[in-house]
Amino acid sequence: MIGWVEVSGSSRPVCRLRWVQGTAFQKRVWQELLKIPFGRTVSYKTIAERIGRPRAVRAVANAIGQNPLPILVPCHRVVRSDQTLGGYSRGLNHKRWLLEYERKTLYNKGFLCERKTS
């Protein structure tokens, strides 16, 4: 179960994981995933650094792979350092679709602009 909490002055709700089964390390990783903005991606390495465990990239990837709430806890927004997709419990086609959907949604709402090429 997750709980949504509106934070004063924030444009989006903050999600707090409650009653989710997992180790303390997994929960730290999953909580960090909730901070990734819609339509954006970060690397497994970045997640490891953000939780203060920069050398635990593989452990972070394993924790992400055990995420019990895909999409709600957006593990699809985590990619490899070289920006390739990496893994996803629902398959790479699904991950690709989710990322493209989020980016198109942001673009269509005017939050992203096309880059001009000379």
What are the residue numbers of the active site? Answer: 75
Measuring CA to CA, which residue among 62, 14, 36, 10 is closest to residue 2? 14
The three-state secondary structure class of 103 is helix
Taking a C-beta distance cutoff of 8 angstroms, is the pair 76, 95 a contact?
A: yes
Nearest to 33 by CA among 11, 20, 48: 48
Residue type, 16: R
